[in-house]
Structure 1
Amino acid sequence: MIYKKSRKYIPENLDIKWENLEHLFKELTARPINSVEELEHWLQDRSELEAAIEEDFAWRYIRMTCDTANEELLQKFQYFATEIEPKIAPYSNELNKKLVGSDYADQLDKEKYFIYLRGVKKALELFREENIPIFTEIQVEQQKYQSITGSMSVHIDDKEFTLEQAAVSMKDTDRGKRQEAWEKITARRLQDKDQLNSLFNHLRALRHKVALNAGFENFRDYMFQALGRFDYTPQDCYAFHEAIQKEIVPILHEQAEKRKTALGLDKLEPWDLDVDISGKAALKPFKDGNDLVEKSIQCFSNINRYLGERLEIMKDNQLFDVESRKGKAPGGYNYPLAETGAPFIFMNSANTFRDLTTMVHEGGHAVHTFLTADLELNDFKHCPSEVAELASMSMELISMDNWNVYFDNEEELKRAKRDQLFDVLKTLPWVAVVDQYQHWIYTNPDHTDEERTEAWLQIFENFGANFADWSTHQEAEANLWQKQLHIFEVPFYYIEYGMAQLGAIAVWKNYKENPEKGLRQYLDALKLGYTKTIKDIYETAGIRFDFSAGYVKELAGFVKAEMDKL
């Protein structure tokens, strides 16, 4: 078993309710600090309190997403969002002021605390008292997306399936079955399109208000500051979009033409995009959720014993919920438990190849959680997404050399690797589309639903529209964006997947050339948490933080060459 770290400042049995927390925040606010040693001790006490609160919130979120129909779990989550979080915010701001204003702040180790202090100063710049109730409302409203989508199901052959389970039929070699599944899934999504549009309009308005209150013209510019994007600008994002359109889209167009020819079709319909072009049945890398966990432990152990042991610890402590079921929120995540030093992996397995890649992706995040568990301050573990997603996406590729654990047939193993490398390239245009769409949404805050649809279609078409013929599915195409949880729940958290995907290709390239050195550099980079700049962390991993057209072309060429070998 694993246990939470022993506490030095707050009571071991502290019940996370506001009445039990306020005196602790008051003590930290009022405590006199008379030396740099006392300031560091104060920082550690604050960190301990924040970690306890963070883990309590984590469990409320995890339990709610595991069972979205449970009203009690929803209320516990909402209690935190409405009664705890808003009351912490002004105290956090006061504590930030106390830190920055301390006579001893300048005596803190510059190298050790640079990133942390930079973030604290930015938080002070952005804080507005009037935004606290708006953030609370946003938190509660965002959760409605999961309630709406988590309740979606369809009937196929008189059986009820979640949308994730039904999507398995999209790999069926029987085209009629694929079409039936796609049409039912799409019809079910469109049933709630107006409700989701209305929810999004409300979220958009709230977010724009937050930005105006903080002195920004729009929410995009606010979020670039709030996400701590110190290392790149919106203009860099547009350059990334352009590079993907120029270098990746043509490769995918070529692959789509091969698919069309192999399937003997005049055009690709949306239900023709996932079936294997060999004409063989969909890959089945595991039997059920337990088998997936066991095989993943073996896969990670074969890469490095330490990695396998981390997943073994999680299994022993029941830190997995992997199978899809009705009432469970969509998607997948790795949620770090700040005090315990381990994570929880949540996903919606429907026994597909995609579930394998989700598991090794979230497993990469999990390893990152363990590697940063002993960093001195809780904030040192709060990695920006550009780093967090590097951990997960690199593991997808590094683990491929050990996928024989899932496939004992050599031809199936090759198919799996080909599918994975194709997915690596396919991810990039979708990331560019989702990111560019959000830039448009929030820099045009007064747009109508019709204008938003028009913008979506234009951007989606510019990046190939998944290379399918949408002429008789226009309503489905116009509402595809509603599938993307991030747009509703974590706005602007998406470009990071693209940047990290490029980084992951470079990590994998290093690993292929020298496995021992490549893995060591990757793990050394993850151990840093967020104590260095993104650029420094990437350099520690032996790669560049670069998304120029030239670099995109170089990495795409490497992936294409590896695909050709298979």
Structure 2
Amino acid sequence: MIYKKTRTYIPASIEIKWETLEPFFKELCDRPINSVEELEKWLHDRSELEAAVEEDFAWRYIRMTCDTTSEELLQNFQYFATEIEPKIAPFSNELNKKLVASEWVDKLDHKKYFIYLRGVKKSLELFREENIPIQTEIQVEQQKYQSITGSMSVHIGEKEFTLEQASVFLKDTDRSKRQEVWEKITARRLQDKEQLNELFDHLRSLRHKVALNAGFENFRDYMFQALGRFDYTPQDCYAFHEAIQKEVVPILRQQAEKRREALQLDALKPWDMDVDISGKPALKPFNSGAELIDKSIQCFTNINSYLGERLEIMKENNLFDVESRKGKAPGGYNYPLSETGAPFIFMNSANTFRDLTTMVHEGGHAVHTFLTADLELNDFKHCPSEVAELASMSMELISMDNWDVYFDNAEDLKRAKRDQLVDVLKTLPWVAVVDQFQHWIYTNPDHTDADRTRAWIEIYEPFGEGFADWSEHPEAEANLWQKQLHIFEVPFYYIEYGMAQLGAIAVWKNYKENPEKGLQQYLDALKLGYTKTIKEIYETAGIKFDFSAAYVKELAEFVKSEMDKL
């Protein structure tokens, strides 16, 4: 079993509610600090309090997403969002002020605290009292996305399936079956189109208000500051989109043409994009959620015993919920538990190849959680997404050499690796589309639903439109953005997947050239948490934080050469 770290500041038995938390926030605000040692003790006590609060929130979120039909679990989550979080926000701002104003702050070890203090100063710049109730409303509103999408299901034959389960049929070699299922899934999504449009319009308007209150012209510019994007600008993102369009889309267009020819079709339709072009049935790497967990433990162990042990610890402590079921929120995530030092992995397995890649992706995040568990301050563990996603996306590629755990047939293993490498490249245009769409949404805050639809199509088309012919399904194409949870729940968290995907390809290239050194550099980078700049963390991994056209071209060509070998 694993146990939470021993507390030295707040009682082990404290119930997390505002009445019990408030005295500790007040004490931290009022405590005199007369030396650099006392300042560091104050930082550790604050860190302990924040970690306890974070872990309590984590469990409320996890339990709610595991069962979106439970009113009690929803109310537990909403209690935190409405009664605890808004009351902590002004105290956090006061504590930040106290820290920055302390006469001892300049005596802290600059190398150790530079990143942390930079973030604190940015938070102080952005804090506005009037945004607290708006941010509370946003927190509550955006959870409605999961309630709406979590209840979506379709009937195929006599059985009811969640959309994740139904999507397995899109790999069926019977084209008419694929089309039937795709049309049912699409019709079900479109059924809630207006409800999701209304929800998003409300969220957009609330977010714009937050930005205006903080002195920004739009929410995009606000979020670049709020996310601590010290290392790149919106203009860099546009340049990255262009590089992907120029260097990656043509490779994927060639792959799509190979698919069309292999399937002997005049044109690829949206339901032709997931079936295996070999004419063989869909890959089935495991038969149940329990088997997926066990095989993943073995796969990670074969890479390095430490990695396998981390997943084994999670299994022993019931820190997985992997099976898809009705009423469960869609998607997958790895949620770090700040005090426990381990994470929880949530996903919607339907026994497909995609579930394998989701598991090794979230497993990469999980390893990252364990590696940063003993960092001194809770804030040191709060990695920017460009680093967090490097952990997960690299693991997808590093683990490939050990996928024989899932496939005992050599041809199936080859198919799995080929599919994975195509997916690696396919990630990049989709990231560019979602990111560019969000830039447009928030820099055009007064747009209508019709404007938004037009913008989506205009942005999506140059990136290949998924390389399918949508001409008979314009409404479905126009509505694809609603599938992306990030747009509703974590705005602007998406370009990081593109940056991290490039980084992951570079990590994998190093690993292939020298497995021992490549893996060690990767783990050394993850251990840093967020105590160094993104650039320094990438350099520790033996790679560059670079998304120029030349670098995109170099890495895309490396992936293509590896695909050609298969």
TM-score (norm 1): 1.00
State yes or no: 1:201 paired with 2:201.
Answer: yes
Q: Secondary structure at the match of 1:184?
A: helix
Q: Secondary structure at the match of 1:116?
A: helix
Taking the aligned partners of 1:158 and 1:207, their CA distance within structure 2 comes to 43
Q: Which residue number corresponds to residue 354 of structure 2?
A: 354
Q: Which residue number corresponds to residue 5 of structure 1?
A: 5
Q: Secondary structure at the match of 2:130?
A: helix
Shift of 1:328: 0.2
Q: Which residue number corresponds to residue 403 of structure 1?
A: 403
Q: Secondary structure at the match of 2:216?
A: coil
Q: Which residue number corresponds to residue 213 of structure 2?
A: 213
Shift of 1:383: 0.1
Q: Which residue number corresponds to residue 185 of structure 1?
A: 185
Q: Which residue number corresponds to residue 235 of structure 2?
A: 235
Amino acid at match of 1:200: F
Q: Secondary structure at the match of 1:464?
A: helix
- Cα deviation digits, residues 202-227 of structure 1 (max 9, x gap): 00000000000000000000000000
TM-score (norm 2): 1.00
Taking the aligned partners of 1:320 and 1:179, their CA distance within structure 2 comes to 33
Runs of 5+ consecutive residues of structure 1 not aligned to the other structure: none
Shift of 1:269: 0.5
Shift of 1:389: 0.1
Q: Which residue number corresponds to residue 70 of structure 1?
A: 70
Q: Secondary structure at the match of 2:344?
A: strand
Shift of 1:462: 1.1
Taking the aligned partners of 2:407 and 2:325, their CA distance within structure 1 comes to 26
Shift of 1:158: 1.2
- Cα deviation digits, residues 434-463 of structure 1 (max 9, x gap): 000000000000001000000000000010
Q: Which residue number corresponds to residue 323 of structure 1?
A: 323
Q: Which residue number corresponds to residue 497 of structure 1?
A: 497
- Cα deviation digits, residues 234-290 of structure 1 (max 9, x gap): 000000000000000000011101100000000001000000000000000001000
Taking the aligned partners of 1:429 and 1:344, their CA distance within structure 2 comes to 30
State yes or no: 1:446 paired with 2:434.
Answer: no
Taking the aligned partners of 2:447 and 2:497, their CA distance within structure 1 comes to 27
Q: Secondary structure at the match of 1:33?
A: coil
Taking the aligned partners of 1:269 and 1:417, their CA distance within structure 2 comes to 24
Taking the aligned partners of 2:289 and 2:84, their CA distance within structure 1 comes to 35
Amino acid at match of 1:289: G
Q: Which residue number corresponds to residue 298 of structure 1?
A: 298
Q: Which residue number corresponds to residue 543 of structure 1?
A: 543
Q: Which residue number corresponds to residue 389 of structure 1?
A: 389
Shift of 1:230: 0.2
Q: How does 1:243-254 map onto structure 2 within 5 Å? A: 243-254=243-254
Amino acid at match of 2:215: G
Taking the aligned partners of 1:471 and 1:413, their CA distance within structure 2 comes to 35
Taking the aligned partners of 1:492 and 1:500, their CA distance within structure 2 comes to 15
Amino acid at match of 2:101: G
Q: Which residue number corresponds to residue 281 of structure 2?
A: 281
Q: Secondary structure at the match of 1:161?
A: strand
Taking the aligned partners of 2:134 and 2:462, their CA distance within structure 1 comes to 35
Taking the aligned partners of 2:201 and 2:34, their CA distance within structure 1 comes to 50
Q: Which residue number corresponds to residue 518 of structure 1?
A: 518
- Cα deviation digits, residues 506-547 of structure 1 (max 9, x gap): 000000000000000000000000000000000000000000
- Cα deviation digits, residues 344-382 of structure 1 (max 9, x gap): 000000000000000000000000000000000000000
Taking the aligned partners of 1:232 and 1:37, their CA distance within structure 2 comes to 35
Shift of 1:557: 0.5
State yes or no: 1:345 paired with 2:345.
Answer: yes
- Cα deviation digits, residues 116-147 of structure 1 (max 9, x gap): 00000000000000000000000000000000
Q: Secondary structure at the match of 1:160?
A: strand
Q: How does 1:394-473 map onto structure 2 within 5 Å? A: 394-473=394-473
Amino acid at match of 1:7: R
Amino acid at match of 2:541: A
Taking the aligned partners of 1:176 and 1:322, their CA distance within structure 2 comes to 30
Q: Which residue number corresponds to residue 111 of structure 1?
A: 111
State yes or no: 1:172 paired with 2:137.
Answer: no
Runs of 5+ consecutive residues of structure 2 not aligned to the other structure: none
Amino acid at match of 1:15: E
CA RMSD for the aligned pairs? 0.3
Q: How does 1:147-166 map onto structure 2 within 5 Å? A: 147-166=147-166
Shift of 1:149: 0.1
Amino acid at match of 1:217: E
- Cα deviation digits, residues 13-66 of structure 1 (max 9, x gap): 010000000000000000000000000000000000000000000000000000
Taking the aligned partners of 1:61 and 1:313, their CA distance within structure 2 comes to 22
Q: Secondary structure at the match of 2:119?
A: helix
Taking the aligned partners of 1:388 and 1:276, their CA distance within structure 2 comes to 31
Q: Which residue number corresponds to residue 528 of structure 1?
A: 528
Q: Which residue number corresponds to residue 79 of structure 1?
A: 79
Q: Secondary structure at the match of 2:143?
A: helix
Q: Which residue number corresponds to residue 145 of structure 2?
A: 145
State yes or no: 1:263 paired with 2:263.
Answer: yes
In the comparison of the two structures, how many residue pairs are matched? 566
Amino acid at match of 1:23: P
Taking the aligned partners of 1:113 and 1:126, their CA distance within structure 2 comes to 20
Moved over 4 A (4+): none
Identity of aligned residues (%): 86
Taking the aligned partners of 1:496 and 1:181, their CA distance within structure 2 comes to 32
Taking the aligned partners of 1:252 and 1:426, their CA distance within structure 2 comes to 7
Taking the aligned partners of 1:367 and 1:181, their CA distance within structure 2 comes to 37
Amino acid at match of 2:314: M
Q: Which residue number corresponds to residue 46 of structure 2?
A: 46
- Cα deviation digits, residues 170-228 of structure 1 (max 9, x gap): 00000011001100000000000000000000000000000000000000000000000
- Cα deviation digits, residues 448-491 of structure 1 (max 9, x gap): 10000000000000101001111110000000000000000000
Shift of 1:168: 0.2
Shift of 1:392: 0.1
Q: How does 1:359-370 map onto structure 2 within 5 Å? A: 359-370=359-370
Taking the aligned partners of 1:74 and 1:409, their CA distance within structure 2 comes to 45
